[in-house]
Structure 1
C-alpha cells in the first residue's frame, strides 16, 4: 500500500482488538489499538515517506499486516537530526494464522533491500520465534541486554484502585480544558526528543479512539501544566492503555506520575474499561518507569525479544 490512511489504520486496530480479546500477550510491539493511533498520528509528517505497508486478508477479514520504516535521516525542530540506518518492521498476525509471519518476512526482505532489518517478537510467541529464526533472524543481544532499550508490556485489572493524592495547589485537568499549544508544551517538556508538533497533536485528536476527556493532565499552582497522559479506550474489549505518560522535568519527584495514573485509571473505569495496559522500558538498567507503573499495581504481561537480520 502507498498510503496508511484512517480506514487502513482502523483495520489494523481491528486486528489488535481481536488479538487483545483472545491472546493479549501476543499483541506485538507498537501494534496495540493505542500504540497504532499514537505512532501513526505523531510521526506521520516526519516519517510517512519512509513507511511501507501491506495487509493480508482471508476473504474480507484482515488476518495479518506489516508496517516497515525504511532507513532515514530527518530534521528535528531543535536543529538535530533523527537518523536510522536499519529498517524496522512492526507486524501482527491473528493467533490462528501464525504461518503468515513467513509471508510478512518475505515481503520485508523485498522492501527493505540491502540493509540491516530489525523486528520485535513477544516472549510468549514461541511460534513466531521459530519462524523468525528460520528466516535468518537472531536475538539482538545489544538492544535486548540488561542495559538495552527493549520494552515490556504491563497489565492491571481496574479493581481496588486507591484514590489519587496531589500535592497542595495542584489539580487534575483534561484536554477539554486546555489549548492545543499547552497540551503540546507539556508533552515536549516531558519528552523533549523527538518533539511533538501542534499539527501532529491535531492529527492525534482526530485519530480513533482518542477522547479529550481521557487525555488527563495535572496543573501546577501557578497554572502551568505539570504532567500528561493519554488514555486510549477500546470499548469493545474493555481495555484501555496509557500512551504516552510523562511529567514535566521541573515537576518530577513530587508523586505526580503516581497520582495521574490513578486518576486516569479511575476515569477509564468510569468510561467502561475493566483492564489497563502500559508499556515501558524493561531492562534492569532502566527501572524508573517500571517502578512507577508497578507501584500502582501493574504487573508484567510480556516482554520484547528484539531481533536482527544483518544485511547480506
Structure 2
C-alpha cells in the first residue's frame, strides 16, 4: 500500500518526466491520475519503489484480484492483476526489475499493464517477458491544449457553475455516482481524494441543474511545477447529457485553471471513437499520446 509520502515521491517523478519526456507518462502515472487513484482507493495494492542516489527513479503498484462492492448493490470479482508503473527514461533498464517484481507479486493469474506507446524500449522488454497486445479497444488517449484564448462558457438557462468548496461532500459524491454508476466510489473515497496532494476544492467544478441536481462534474489537478492542469475524472448525469453542460464546464474549468497559473491542460479518454473524444476535440484538445495495453495470460 502506498502511503502519502510515497505518493508525493511518485508525483515528483511524474513531474520530472513530464518536464522532459511527456510522451512517456502513461495514463496511470501522471501527477493528477496518481492523486485521483490514490485518493479513491487510499493507496490499496502492493507497491515497490526503486531509488538512485536517494532519488526515486521507478515505481510499481500492483492491483491484485479482489471483490468490489458497488453503489447499486452489485459485486464485481476482479480475477486478474493490473500494474501501474513508471520508470525514468534515464534508468530504463529498471523495467526488467519492475516486470520481475510484478510477476512475483501476482503469480498464477492473468496480468495486464498499460505502458506508453512511445516507450519503444519498454515495449520490447515487456514483449521479451511474454506480454502481448490486449483487446484493441482497451487503450486510452491523452489529449492536450494550451490555455490561451479559451472561449467563454455558456450554460442553458437555469443551470449554474459550482465548485466542491461551495456544496456538500454528499452532493459532490452523488454527482460522480450518477455519472459513473455502477461504481465503488463513496463518501470515504471522496474524503481520500481531498487528502491527495494537488486536490483543490476551488478547482473541482460542477454544474447545478435548476432542480438542484449536480448534473456534471470534473476535478482539475494543477501541477504547478509544469504549469499544467489535468481533468480527471469528467462525468455527466445521464439525464442531463447532450445539453452542452460538459462543454461549458470544461471551458469554465480551463479559465479557472489559467487564473490559478496553468498554461496547459490535458484530459484522457478511451482511444476508440466515442462521444468523450469528440467532446474534448470540440473544446480545443488534440491527441498527444496513447497507451499500449498488454496482457500475459496464465
User: Cα deviation per residue 1:265-300 (whole Å; 9 max; x = unaligned)?
Assistant: 00001100011011101113xx11000001101111
Match of residue 294 from structure 2 = 307
Correspondence list, 1:127-206, <5 A: 127-140=121-134, 143=135, 145=136, 148-206=137-195
Match of residue 22 from structure 1 = 20
Task: Name the CA distance, whole Å, in 1 between partners of 2:72 and 2:237.
Answer: 18
Q: Which runs of 4+ in 1 moved over 4 A?
A: none
Match of residue 92 from structure 1 = 86
Task: Name the CA distance, whole Å, in 2 between partners of 1:171 and 1:82.
Answer: 36
Query: Which TM-score applies when normalising by structure 1?
Result: 0.93
Match of residue 54 from structure 1 = 48
What is the DSSP-based 3-state SS (H/G/I as helix, E as strand, rest coil) of the residue aligned with 1:96? Answer: helix
Is 1:264 the counterpart of 2:258? The answer is no
Contact 2:142–2:268 (8 Å) recurs in 1: yes
Q: Superposition RMSD on alpha carbons, in Å?
A: 1.2
Match of residue 298 from structure 1 = 285
1:188–1:198 Cα change, 3 Å: same
Task: Name the CA distance, whole Å, in 2 between partners of 1:255 and 1:129.
Answer: 39
Correspondence list, 1:230-241, <5 A: 230-241=219-230
User: Cα deviation per residue 1:141-170 (whole Å; 9 max; x = unaligned)?
Assistant: xx2x2xx23211111111121111111111
Task: Name the CA distance, whole Å, in 1 between partners of 2:102 and 2:138.
Answer: 23
For structure 1, the residue ranges without an aligned partner over 5 or more in a row are: none
Match of residue 209 from structure 1 = 198
Aligned residues: 298
Task: Name the CA distance, whole Å, in 1 between partners of 2:103 and 2:218.
Answer: 37
Match of residue 250 from structure 1 = 239
Task: Name the CA distance, whole Å, in 1 between partners of 2:147 and 2:178.
Answer: 29
Task: Name the CA distance, whole Å, in 2 between partners of 1:78 and 1:220.
Answer: 23
Using the TM superposition, give the Cα deviation of residue 79 of structure 1 relative to its aligned residue in structure 2, in angstroms.
2.2
Task: Name the CA distance, whole Å, in 1 between partners of 2:252 and 2:71.
Answer: 32
Using the TM superposition, give the Cα deviation of residue 80 of structure 1 relative to its aligned residue in structure 2, in angstroms.
1.2
Using the TM superposition, give the Cα deviation of residue 72 of structure 1 relative to its aligned residue in structure 2, in angstroms.
1.5
For structure 2, the residue ranges without an aligned partner over 5 or more in a row are: none
Match of residue 65 from structure 1 = 59
User: Cα deviation per residue 1:56-77 (whole Å; 9 max; x = unaligned)?
Assistant: 0002100000000111123223
Task: Name the CA distance, whole Å, in 2 between partners of 1:215 and 1:75.
Answer: 26
Contact 2:72–2:181 (8 Å) recurs in 1: no
Using the TM superposition, give the Cα deviation of residue 36 of structure 1 relative to its aligned residue in structure 2, in angstroms.
0.8
Match of residue 35 from structure 2 = 37
Could you tell me which of 281, 285, 307 is aligned with 2:270? Answer: 281
What is the DSSP-based 3-state SS (H/G/I as helix, E as strand, rest coil) of the residue aligned with 2:11? Answer: helix
Query: Which TM-score applies when normalising by structure 2?
Result: 0.97
